[in-house]
């Protein structure tokens, strides 16, 4: 069992003045003051379009600083932001939008920025809901993670919890290097703005562009996935660059297992007390671990975050008790919601099926969900990929799994039975699946390996 204790709040190592306008070479830095004005106009624009409390605003557009302002302007007026990957194919979009009853879908940058031109209106002090992110799981059908509308006290506590854990403050500059429509980078960006800080957004991660951005805006915080650290280190080895990384006081990574050499080198580059790892999921956040604590307990993902208790059941499955503002349901899926939650003496606890252990209050993650592939920090659910391919003529059955990949951690592989050729399979994947989900390899087999009860042996594949 893990109590609700964590390490001491982070200390800021040096002041970096928040900037306004564009940085060198056009990298925009959005200040909290400018974002506050934009958020009020977003709320006015949504109201003028007829959106009210509980209505859902779908965002299907690339990341930029305005994205964070739109999310906050919506959430602080009771409208539910639904961030989706803009690379989703029409087939994937239809599977999500068909059951969402969206009040408004914004699917390009021009439409996003148009929301910043509404008449300014008053806002709640804090977001009144968590953004509804989607996850697939074993069913293959994406499910929205819905927190419900929050009471004002819970809304405030949600903001304060993130601020106290990560130390967000007014002189922070958060550099967004992961797609901002993902939950973790969006939380860091919005948390920084709510604390009075500033953000800058890279259109996509490129190691050379990252080095330039660090020199331009001198960021203090960043969320990344291990693949970003790996690509940065490879770039530095190839170019001999030695960027000044001293402006960072917080570099947090999560989303995939981090190879130990990459982790140790990141600790040396940024500082052990600067680099943090945390464990969580789309559904909720569990633990946090600073670099120096990891060296004392290698392999741990940290202690439970404040207000949480982590336990392990008889099958080594991890469960987490969360505060009221951390509870959720799966959108319009009572059965799946019931499977994810159970009552405990400490309160309602949820699981995402990961396996682990708890030793002296420290959590160790032994295995992610057996069906989950994590490629470049993106969760890929085999059932969703299989559903996209299984009705293709010439495919009798298909099973998707992950293989180790030096660059992405894992790559998606599809094994199938049938006479369809690989070109046909690749064309179907291109039509129906966003880039991270498309198999990089196809294996034609005479039969899929199965257990006595008929389940596919993915580990054997």
- Give the tens place of pLDDT for each residue, 371-398: 778 888 788 888 889 889 988 999 988 9
Q: How would you class 194 by CB atoms within 10 Å of its CB: exposed for 0-12, middle for 13-18, buried for 19 or more?
A: buried
Beta bridge partners of 321: 309, 349
State how far the alpha carbon of 122 is from the alpha carbons of 37, 125, 189, in Å. 10, 9, 22
**What is the C-alpha to C-alpha distance for residues 398 and 125, in angstroms, rounded to an integer?**
50
pLDDT of 4 > 50? The answer is: no
Q: Which residues pair with 146 in a beta bridge?
A: 329
Q: Which residues are 29's β-sheet partners? A: 200
Q: Looking at residue 59, what is its pLDDT?
A: 98
What is the full DSSP assignment across 316-360? SBEEEE--GGG--EETT-HHHHHHHEEEETTEEEE--S-EEEEET
Are 250 and 173 in contact by the 8 Å Cβ rule? The answer is no
Q: How far apart are CA 60 and CA 434, in angstroms?
A: 13
> Which pair of tokens denotes residue 405?
């990949």
Q: Token match 């951005």: residue?
A: 213
pLDDT for residue 318:
95
pLDDT at position 452 over 80 = no
Residue 20 reports pLDDT greater than 80: no
Give the span between the Cα atoms of 353 and 256, in whole angstroms.
15
Q: How many CB atoms lie within 10 A of CB 22?
A: 12
Cβ distance 383 to 140 under 8 Å?
yes
For residue 460, name the pLDDT band (cuts at 50, 70, 90). confident
E-only strand ranges, 181-313: 198-201, 221-224, 250-253, 275-280, 285-290, 300-304, 309-312
pLDDT in tens, 130-173: 999 998 765 667 899 999 999 999 999 999 999 999 999 999 99
Look at residues 286, 328, 321 and name the one whose alpha carbon lies nearest to residue 130.
Answer: 328
- pLDDT at residue number 147: 93
């Amino acid at each position: 069992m893990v109590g609700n204790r964590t390490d001491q709040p982070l200390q800021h190592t040096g002041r970096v003045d928040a900037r306004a306008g564009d940085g060198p070479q056009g990298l925009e830095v959005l200040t909290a003051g400018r974002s506050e004005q934009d958020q009020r106009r977003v709320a006015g624009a949504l109201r003028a379009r007829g959106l009210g409390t509980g209505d859902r605003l779908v965002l299907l557009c690339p990341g930029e600083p305005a994205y964070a302002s739109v999310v906050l302007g919506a959430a602080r007026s009771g409208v539910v932001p639904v961030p989706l990957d803009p690379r989703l194919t029409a087939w994937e979009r239809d599977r999500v939008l068909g059951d969402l009853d969206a009040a408004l879908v914004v699917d390009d940058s021009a439409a996003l920025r148009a929301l910043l031109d509404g008449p300014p209106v008053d806002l709640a002090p804090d977001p009144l809901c968590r953004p509804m992110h989607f996850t697939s799981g074993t069913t293959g059908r994406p499910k929205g993670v819905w927190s419900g509308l929050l009471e004002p006290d819970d809304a405030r506590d949600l903001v304060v919890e993130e601020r106290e854990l990560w130390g967000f403050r007014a002189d922070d500059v958060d550099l967004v290097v992961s797609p901002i429509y993902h939950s973790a980078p969006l939380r860091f960006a919005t948390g920084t703005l709510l604390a009075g800080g500033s953000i800058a957004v890279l259109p996509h991660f490129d190691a050379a562009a990252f080095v330039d951005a660090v020199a331009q805006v001198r960021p203090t915080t960043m969320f990344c996935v291990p693949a970003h650290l790996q690509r940065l280190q490879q770039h530095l080895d190839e170019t001999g660059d030695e960027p000044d990384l001293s402006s960072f006081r917080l570099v947090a990574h999560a989303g995939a297992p981090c190879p130990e050499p990459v982790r140790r080198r990141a600790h040396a580059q940024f500082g052990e007390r600067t680099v943090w790892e945390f464990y969580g999921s789309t559904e909720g956040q569990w633990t946090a671990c600073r670099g120096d604590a990891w060296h004392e307990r290698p392999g741990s993902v940290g202690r439970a975050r404040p207000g949480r208790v982590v336990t392990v059941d008889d099958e080594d499955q991890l469960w987490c008790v969360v505060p009221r503002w951390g509870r959720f349901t799966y959108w319009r899926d009572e059965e799946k919601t019931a499977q994810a939650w159970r009552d405990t003496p400490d309160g309602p606890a949820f699981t995402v099926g990961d396996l682990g252990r708890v030793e002296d209050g420290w959590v160790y993650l032994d295995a992610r969900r057996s069906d989950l592939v994590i490629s470049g920090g993106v969760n890929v659910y085999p059932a969703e990929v299989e559903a996209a391919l299984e009705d293709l003529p010439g495919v009798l059955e298909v099973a998707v799994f992950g293989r180790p990949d030096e660059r992405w951690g894992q790559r998606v592989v599809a094994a199938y039975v049938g006479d369809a050729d690989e070109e046909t399979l690749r064309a179907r994947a291109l039509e129906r699946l966003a880039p991270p989900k498309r198999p990089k390899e196809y294996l034609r087999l005479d039969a899929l390996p199965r257990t006595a009860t008929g389940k596919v042996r993915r580990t054997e594949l």
